[in-house]
Structure 1
């Protein structure tokens, strides 16, 4: 299955990347163009389901860092290094033949230029350098280059920011962008892909859940509990119920305060223990070790690193009965879906291990009938918020099942 990467970059960077996309194996890119790096903060809030978010540079990553923490997927950014600096300076030397002291350069880490010049034995002349800070207004960076050029101190500006490049061009000031080599960009994307694969691997690790009750828990209640973490009930004895799930599903359940939902479902007080591990035996033992810490209607988690976390619940419910987000209000209005159902569908997208899913996947998660699930999907498809991207045939008879993906931001 392909790894889907959401790429945030300037129009110039995106255009260049589109010409390189064919060299990426088992990778799909979704493009998000910003006019200014600060726009990345809002763009992150509207990213569609993906496996990793990739920023074209340090500055948009820094601006969007806080917003990115709310994403259920990892992030990565193209970090300038000595290779980028060397490539840019060589280009200037051969194409423009401008002395290095007549250059003005803005960048996140000025030390990189000093490192390159020291490595080649050039320590007498340095360019005019501006260390970019996230608190800067772009007009301050433009002013830095413009004043140096207008005073006759520089003949060429080198910028790391596309918006600054455009502004200086408008003022007829000679300027070039920092040059990211083809291999540098491709390596950055491969690194992002590796991070996504690692996150998937960690999310897929084994988790064992124990629920202990003083009374028998009804079968329909057990099924509802299992559905919230996409688990199987593997054992029940003496009012102790054992579920087999994954760390990704359990972690999302803890973040969404699903423990409180389980407590509300149970007719009698329950104790809950989670165990993570690289094997079923290790995860089971960790769950056993965590159980004695749990009091009635509380839960504890023992990780594979022997970290005891708890007591839970301690988070707010994520399923909302109303929403003030204008985009979600619009979707709910168009599809006539309740905000609660829409919120649950968004939670499903966050928890599902793949961008693609079937009606059965959604049915199991929502704990509703197939008919209800298909009705919800039809509403989303009819209004362009989901689409059919393929079919699968896992059995010999019957019709193939449609494969869907969402077409609206679910993070």
Structure 2
């Protein structure tokens, strides 16, 4: 089935910023990025033109490149850049203050009034010399900008502040004090959220029905702790009050399904905003802290209410299988996002709900593993972009005991899912550690 839940986004910029954006995108499971790394010799307009037909939204990491392509290309899709008016500029000015001083600054890309505002907020009330580069055309002349900063340093000992990597590189070679202002991760998150909201796919899904299932983990063991039915009912009422408050925040509707299970209905737009893009579900921690037990959440997306409900049930099963106190999401294409909880908002695993490769299924069965457990392990291991492990490495990656890791590796070896490729010598006394290659990830 074609994945309609992912939105293709084009990322254009120098390698350092593209790599930083790549990391930030890990907390945006709706985006399917296409990266283009540029150099000083790249024809940025040609790169952008080639991407227009491939993606739904474009993100250009440097403002001067964004400004140039916007003036020279008639875009039919949303085009965004990462503004340098946030925490990135604060960080650079603070670093200059520590290393040099803020008495004389030479800058390009930035608005003079905004720089003055930040200087005031940094409690810099002394006189400042501010030299602002103003271009007469849409195409940036790197040589001209470098000369501008060089002249200001020679005449006024001005520290350069630039939003252009190549300018920073050339000034560094000339031993001119310079700060290349880059967006912080928080700046990037804000920019990517804006890009997401601008896409047609995202707007079309704004009113899509989201179905949620909530289950009390180990309900029987929770209820037996209380001496009377009255106490159990009071506990249930406290939980229901918390769920009602959470559902109200989602503008949703809560239904008590009886026993240990509840359901709620909301819309995708509200759910994504309130969870900050599936990164924040405080209900999990609140229940555990205030009531002393945990709950599992399953969230289902779908094209119909029935499909959303079915996917919510599949998602809840994933949460319970993972030990509870987490939330999993099953999307329209039956891909899974999770675990989502307040303590691991950057640790998404995104994987298909089931393995369809018959040979791999046969090997997984031989290794004594269910297909769903196998897919979760594959997602968790592949997220680290590493396929060679010792038992100790695997235990750390999967958050399991060393004994469990050794048992898993033994089963995988018998099922021909991994192969032993060598040994790692240890500095202290003891047997060398075997190194395994996880061939099933390939």
TM-score scaled by length of structure 2: 0.41
In the superposition, the TM-score normalised over structure 1's length comes to 0.44
- Larger relative CO (CA 8 A, sep 6+): 1 or 2? 1
